[in-house]
């Protein structure tokens, strides 16, 4: 028999560590045969103990290659030129990509056959193999990063008194049958690569930014931090009807909650772009990446029909009692605005889903800021005209809406230090815009008439 290396044949004189690469490359491609006891030039040198050689290779495959590849390897001892050699028949595996366990599912750990050699696979090739093996569902695919931590998620499970151990991670499909993390695990891990960007604008368009943040980390962490960010800016306006005081928040809390959960659960995470939330004076817009699922129309969604893009993620949120059942979110949002003049608006495109929540108190807020935003003020020391800074405008706007403001209010509103908050207040008092009332802990400031 003439031995010659090719795309499907590899020759090795003895068992060496590089044999792992050759086996992985064959399993990741179209299979092949490994002949041990034959030099690269085709010369048969033979083996003294072929059974031990087969056992040595088998142990190496079992201990050093993931996922389990043993069932796709078959060993046989043959004689050539009165010398014994081992033939390892490697079939194309069904759980590709296979990789060296210590190096992970990265190019330095994943190999493919290229010509007569085994070479590192590209990131694109690795992703293609994962997609071919695991299907198109992003959350079910194996994660490229297998070094994940779950600090924020474990904390949330603990607060809700739900177990989050190894068994639960298997049940919730964060870990597959080979003990590998799925992309669902990535979404819930502290290493999550997807983010939410939130921007606050001064008026009803994007001309002037008041604030902007990008939220990172586990989706659970993003959910809590984004909700707190919106909730802090969800102001309450009090009205008096006869002897009854009625407090009305800009946005119904249930509507904000459901819109945020919809953005997280139904987002298409195969796109790397951030989800967007824009807060204007008259509305909040939640823009989720990924349009409606095929076969579903907007009318279907509005009547409660839901085909969930991320079924496993939705199940995690269900376990945490964050959602009750599929398809109820839109109904809750609409019911939250019953009896209101303005209603939520749902818009969808091929690659985006938008929920617009109107500000119930917008008519009062727009009126309160109808004064030109950058009023000229007189500096008592210089006698010159100066314009208000964006920070000063926000403080005055908050004071008009709430009737008064404290230093702690400024710290939370502006996310600044105590000294900066005190400086801004002093400047507005000195310019006769704010009036100090009370002393010590009871100190608060009102608009000076």
Q: What is the pLDDT of residues 149-166, one digit of tens each?
A: 999 999 999 999 999 999
Instruction: Identify the pLDDT of residue 271.
Output: 86
Least confident of 184-193, 296-305, 391-400: 296-305
Domain residues of the chain, as ranges? 9-133, 196-361, 371-447
For residue range 67-120, what is the model confidence (pLDDT) as tens digits? Answer: 999 999 999 999 998 999 999 999 999 889 999 999 988 899 999 999 889 999
Instruction: Identify the pLDDT of residue 240.
Output: 67
Instruction: Identify the pLDDT of residue 316.
Output: 95
The CATH class of the 371-447 domain is mainly alpha
15-37: average pLDDT? 94
Beta carbons within 8 Å of 158's beta carbon, 6+ residues apart: 164
Given the candidates 3.30.565.60, 3.40.50.150, 3.90.45.10, 3.40.50.800, the CATH classification of the domain at 196-361 is 3.30.565.60
For residue range 346-388, what is the model confidence (pLDDT) as tens digits? Answer: 998 888 999 999 999 887 655 555 444 444 444 444 444 457 8
Instruction: Identify the pLDDT of residue 184.
Output: 97
Instruction: Identify the pLDDT of residue 374.
Output: 45
253-277: average pLDDT? 93
Q: Is the pLDDT of residue 134 over 90?
A: no
3-state helix/strand/coil string of the chain: CCCCCECCEEEECCCCCCHHHHHHHHHHCCCEEEEECECCCCCECCCCCHHHHHHHHHHHHHHHEECCCHHHEEEEEEEECCEEEEEEEECCCCCCCCEECCCCCCCCCEEEEECCEEEECCHHHHHHHHHHHHCCCHHHCECCCCCCCCHHHHHHHHHCCCCCCHHHHHHCCCECCCCCEEHHHHHHCCCCCCCEEEEEECCCCCCCEEEEEEECCCHHHHHHHHHHHHHHHCCEEEEEECCEEEEEECCCHHHHHHHHHHHHHCCCCCCCCCEEEEECCCEEEEEEECCCCCCCCHHHHHCCCCCCCCHHHHHHHHHCCCCCCCCCHHHHHHHHCCCCCCCCEEEECCCEEEEEEECCCHHHHHHHCCCCCCCEEECCCCCCEEECCHHHHHHHHHHHHHCCECHHHHHHHHCCCHHHHHHHHHHHHHCCCEEEECCHHHCEEEECC
419-426: average pLDDT? 85
Bigger pLDDT: 294 or 284?
284
266-284: average pLDDT? 92
13-32: average pLDDT? 94
Task: Judge contact between 152 and 190, C-beta under 8 A.
Answer: yes
297 falls in which pLDDT band (50, 70, 90)?
confident
pTM of the shown model: 0.65
Instruction: Identify the pLDDT of residue 410.
Output: 86
Q: Is the pLDDT of residue 210 over 70?
A: yes
Instruction: Identify the pLDDT of residue 54.
Output: 95
Peptide bond into 97 cis (omega under 30): yes
Q: Under CATH, which number does the domain 9-133 receive?
A: 3.30.950.30
Q: Give me the residue label for tokens 């606050």.
A: 200
| Alpha-carbon radius of gyration of the chain | 32
């Amino acid at each position: 028999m003439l031995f010659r290396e090719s795309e499907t044949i590899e020759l090795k004189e003895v068992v060496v560590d590089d044999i792992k690469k050759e086996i992985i490359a064959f399993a990741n491609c179209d299979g092949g045969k490994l002949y041990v006891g034959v030099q690269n030039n085709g010369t048969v040198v033979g083996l003294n103990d072929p059974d031990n050689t087969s056992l040595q290779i088998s142990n190496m495959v079992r201990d050093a290659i993931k996922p389990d590849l043993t069932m796709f390897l078959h060993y046989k001892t043959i004689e050539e030129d009165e010398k014994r050699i081992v033939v390892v028949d490697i079939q194309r595996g069904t759980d590709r990509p296979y990789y060296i366990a210590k190096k992970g599912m990265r190019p330095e750990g994943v190999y493919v056959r290229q010509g007569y050699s085994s070479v590192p696979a590209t990131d694109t090739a690795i992703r293609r193999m994962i997609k071919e093996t695991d299907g198109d569902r992003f959350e079910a695919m194996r994660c490229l990063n297998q070094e994940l931590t779950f600090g924020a998620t474990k904390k949330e499970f603990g607060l809700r008194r739900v177990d989050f151990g190894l068994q639960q991670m298997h049940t919730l499909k964060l870990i597959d049958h080979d003990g590998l993390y799925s992309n669902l695990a990535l979404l819930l891990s502290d290493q999550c690569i997807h983010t939410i960007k939130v921007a606050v604008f001064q008026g009803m368009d994007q001309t002037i930014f008041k604030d902007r943040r990008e939220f990172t980390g586990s989706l659970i962490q993003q959910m809590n931090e984004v909700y707190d960010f919106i909730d802090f800016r969800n102001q309450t306006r009090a009205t008096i009807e006869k002897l009854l005081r009625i407090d009305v928040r800009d946005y119904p809390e249930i509507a904000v909650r459901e819109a945020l959960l919809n953005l997280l659960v139904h987002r298409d995470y195969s796109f790397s772009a951030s989800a967007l939330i824009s807060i204007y004076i008259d509305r909040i817009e939640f823009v989720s990446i990924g349009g409606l699922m095929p076969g579903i129309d907007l009318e279907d969604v509005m009547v409660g029909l839901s085909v969930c893009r991320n079924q496993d993620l939705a199940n995690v949120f269900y376990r945490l009692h964050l959602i009750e059942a599929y398809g109820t979110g839109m109904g809750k949002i609409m019911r939250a605005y019953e009896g209101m003049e303005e209603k939520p608006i749902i818009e969808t495109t091929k690659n985006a889903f938008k929920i617009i929540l109107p500000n119930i108190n917008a008519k009062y807020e727009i009126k309160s800021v109808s004064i030109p935003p950058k009023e000229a003020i007189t500096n008592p020391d210089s006698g010159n005209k100066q314009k208000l800074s964006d920070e000063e405008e926000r403080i005055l706007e908050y004071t008009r809406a709430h009737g008064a403001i404290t230093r702690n209010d400024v710290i939370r509103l502006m996310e600044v230090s105590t000294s900066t908050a005190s400086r801004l207040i002093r400047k507005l008092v000195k310019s006769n815009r704010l009036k100090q009332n009370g002393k010590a802990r009871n100190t608060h400031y009102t608009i000076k008439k």
